[in-house]
């Protein structure tokens, strides 16, 4: 496995771990709290989680299906919180499987992507993966703020906390 694959796998692992921490912190909230408009970019915790999940799903499909270069239009599907909790580990594993099978040329190959507004751009697959990680991290930060507004102490999802957690797991 190349150093590039190892680096990307590590960060996909981190992103999945951090999202799991956020989902755990959100689980005590009831449906009204999850969908309360907090004035954030996607209004509520649930809508922000849907947006993150849909982004990860769409970009994974983009990585897997080179011939399908068009991103889907419209908002994220209106999935339940329970659906997101159940399906996110599968999505996370799908990224891991794809990355483990990818070669460095696969990762650096530029692929055409057509946005819903028709704009086209070429981007290396590794930049798609980095975008997914960054996008998810950005919106998790918004959810942290919304959790605080609900009186919930958010988890520490910092990269250093992940490293420390994985170090403790490795010691066992």
How high is the pLDDT of residue 115?
86
Q: Is the pLDDT of residue 22 over 80?
A: yes
The span from the CA of 42 to the CA of 143, in Å, is 10
The structure tokens listed for 109 are 């190959």
pTM over 0.85: yes
22 CB-near residues (< 8 Å, 6+ apart): 49, 140, 143, 144, 147, 154, 155, 157
| DSSP E strand stretches across 96-159 | 110-114, 120-124
Q: Is the pLDDT of residue 72 over 90?
A: no
Burial class (CB in 10 A: 0-12, 13-18, 19+), 45: buried
Closest CA to 43 of 149, 155, 158: 149
Q: Is the pLDDT of residue 161 over 80?
A: yes
3-171: CATH number: 1.20.120.450
The span from the CA of 31 to the CA of 104, in Å, is 43
Domain ranges of the chain: 3-171
Quick: pLDDT tens for 103-126.
999 999 999 988 889 899 999 999
């Amino acid at each position: 496995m190349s150093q590039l694959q190892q680096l990307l796998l590590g960060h996909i692992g981190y992103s999945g771990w951090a999202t799991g921490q956020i989902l755990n912190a959100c689980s005590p909230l009831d449906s009204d709290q999850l969908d309360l408009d907090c004035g954030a970019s996607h209004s509520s915790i649930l809508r922000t989680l849907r947006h993150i999940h849909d982004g990860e799903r769409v970009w994974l499909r983009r990585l897997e299906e080179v011939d399908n270069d068009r991103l889907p239009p419209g908002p994220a599907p209106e999935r339940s919180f329970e659906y997101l909790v159940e399906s996110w580990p599968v999505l996370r594993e799908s990224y891991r499987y794809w990355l483990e099978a990818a070669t460095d040329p696969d990762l650096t190959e530029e692929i055409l992507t057509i946005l819903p507004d028709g704009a086209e751009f070429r981007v290396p697959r590794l930049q798609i993966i980095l975008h997914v990680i960054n996008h998810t991290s950005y919106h998790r930060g918004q959810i942290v703020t919304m959790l605080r507004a609900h009186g919930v102490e958010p988890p520490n999802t910092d990269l250093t906390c992940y490293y420390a957690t994985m170090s403790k797991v490795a010691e066992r």
